[in-house]
Amino acid sequence: MPHPLGATPSKIIAVHVNYPSRARERGSTPAVPSYFLKPPSSLAGTGEAIVRPSGCELLSFEGEIALVIGERAHRVRPEDGWRHVRWVTAANDAGVYDLRHADRGSNLRSKGADGFTPVGPRLLEARELDPARLRLRTWVNGELVQEDTSDTLLFPFAELVADLSRLVTLEPGDVILTGTPAGASVASPGDVVEVEVTAEGRSTGRLRNPVAEAGHDLEPWGAMPRTGPAERAAALGPGHPPEPVLDPALAEGLRSVAVATLSAQLRRRGLPHMSLDGLRPTRPGDTMAGVAHTLRYLPLREDLFERYGAGLNAQKRAVEELRPGHVLVMDARRDTTAGTLGDILALRALRRGAAGVVTDGGLRDSAAVAGLPLPVYHGGAHPSVLGRRHVPWDTGVPVSCGGALVQPGDLLVGDADGVVVVPPDLAGELVADCREQEAQERFITEQVQAGHGIDGLYPLGPAWRARYERWREQHTSEGDPV
């Protein structure tokens, strides 16, 4: 089926990053929008195949909301930008990461091949829509993989029109691809990608495009496909990082020392409020160390739950954004009267490589979660579903969990005693000092077991210092690390 635009547009302009969820995946948030051009010859309609060039393996899909200009725009103001938009439709900003190296910055061959911009199948009248109330969803083989709403955009539609029109005249029929949310990844021949935009009871219908393999070799003149770890990581998304987010040696060092010892060392450094209070482990014998990835819940409002709690909401996005070594930290306002995690999401976090999950809210399916090889700390078991007390609101923001401030990128360490927050820049020296403290406590324990009193011994005083040093040297020489 041909695309629904009729006349060929003079240009297709695509925004690099425009959803906060995508910015978090990419690790940086732009201060202003940036763009690239796609040739009009890349347009396609629903049902047409997206053909992966021979020799390429990383054909990406990116569900997007497309704007079609209806009235010439030249140096318009942001408050007037939306009236220059005639139609809204669904789009798939397809591309091959294998050829990004060929036109670094312009994306011409990687994003501009014939058929790499399917749009449709129907056009929605922009003037009948609230631009802040559009919903975008993408499916691959029937599985929902992207969902977001236009009220979250970093740069609203009218601002994009105004920004572009400062220097580039937008003509009727021109298309603006307004960015893709989290969840964009790679599709293979035989897969089917579908994109839909809905708004206030209206729908573009599903833009449906199968992925096919080219039936001919790519001619050998010009740049050829090139694929390596960097291209795969960028194409596949945060679920397929080349390395864990926390250095394995540091993670092992943090797991090797007691949380109680870490807490004492943090207090000595003037940080007495680093424990996440009121939490209990599902598996007391486990230890945990990882990098915080945060999720914030807000109190339930029934009129907002459908908008923020349904579909691929912030709770589910937070799980899908996890990378190996992450600890998912949930701020549920210490309200344990509703579940914030159950067995299915816990299993998904485990499959994503999470080092653990921490919530100061309730835990559903507690017996099943305890059976997973995943450290989970929670405020208490509760049978209820999410919508009883909480609305999942956003991810990747500073949160309060168990009364402690946790920032994305902080380190979380847990054992049977509980969980503490460790500032990343202190982690190395804390491990060394904790090991020294634990060696002293081991020595002190042996002396108490031998019948010595604790005065001057605990904490270790000058009278015992020389004896401790001899004890430590002996154990070290015998190959017993202390």
Q: How many helices (H) and strands (E) does the chain have?
A: 12, 30
The mean pLDDT value for 140-169 works out to 95
**Residue 284 CB coordination number (10 Å):** 11
Q: Is the pLDDT of residue 236 over 80?
A: no
117 — phi, psi (to 5°)? -135, 70
Percent pLDDT > 70 in the chain is 97
Bridge partners (DSSP) listed for residue 404: 401
Q: Which residues contact 26 (CB under 8 A, 6 or more apart)?
A: 17
Q: Residue 392, SS3?
A: strand
List, as residue ranges, the binding site for substrate: 342-345, 364
pLDDT at 240: 53
Contact (CB, 8 A) for 391 and 452: no
Q: Residue 70, SS3?
A: coil
Q: What is the mean pLDDT of the chain?
A: 91
Higher per-residue pLDDT: 323 or 382: 382
Please state which CATH number belongs to domain 12-236: 3.90.850.10
- 378/367 Cα distance (integer angstroms): 13
List, as residue ranges, the binding site for Mg(2+): 365
Contact (CB, 8 A) for 340 and 362: yes
Lowest mean pLDDT of 61-70, 216-225, 257-266, name the range. Answer: 216-225
Q: Residue 399, SS3?
A: strand
Summarised one tens digit per residue, pLDDT across range 394-407 is 888 899 999 999 99
The mean pLDDT value for 321-336 works out to 93
Q: Where are the alpha helices (DSSP H) in 125-185?
A: 157-165
* pTM of structure: 0.56
Domain boundaries, the chain: 12-236, 248-428
pLDDT at 322: 87
Q: Residue 294, SS3?
A: strand
Name the band, by pLDDT with cuts 50, 70 and 90, for residue 481.
low
Q: Is the pLDDT of residue 239 over 90?
A: no
Map tokens 């005065």 to a residue. 455
Please state which CATH number belongs to domain 248-428: 3.50.30.40
Q: Is the pLDDT of residue 242 over 50?
A: no
pLDDT at 474: 84
Summarised one tens digit per residue, pLDDT across range 77-134 is 999 999 999 999 999 999 999 888 888 678 888 999 999 999 989 999 999 999 999 9
Any idea what DSSP says for residue 10? S
Q: Where are the alpha helices (DSSP H) in 67-197?
A: 108-111, 157-165
The mean pLDDT value for 355-360 works out to 97
pLDDT at 238: 59
The mean pLDDT value for 149-177 works out to 96
List, as residue ranges, the binding site: 342-345, 364-365
Higher per-residue pLDDT: 243 or 31: 31
Percent pLDDT > 90 in the chain is 68
- 65/63 Cα distance (integer angstroms): 7
The mean pLDDT value for 426-453 works out to 91
**Nearest alpha-carbon partner for 245 in 344, 353, 126:** 353
- 412/274 Cα distance (integer angstroms): 10
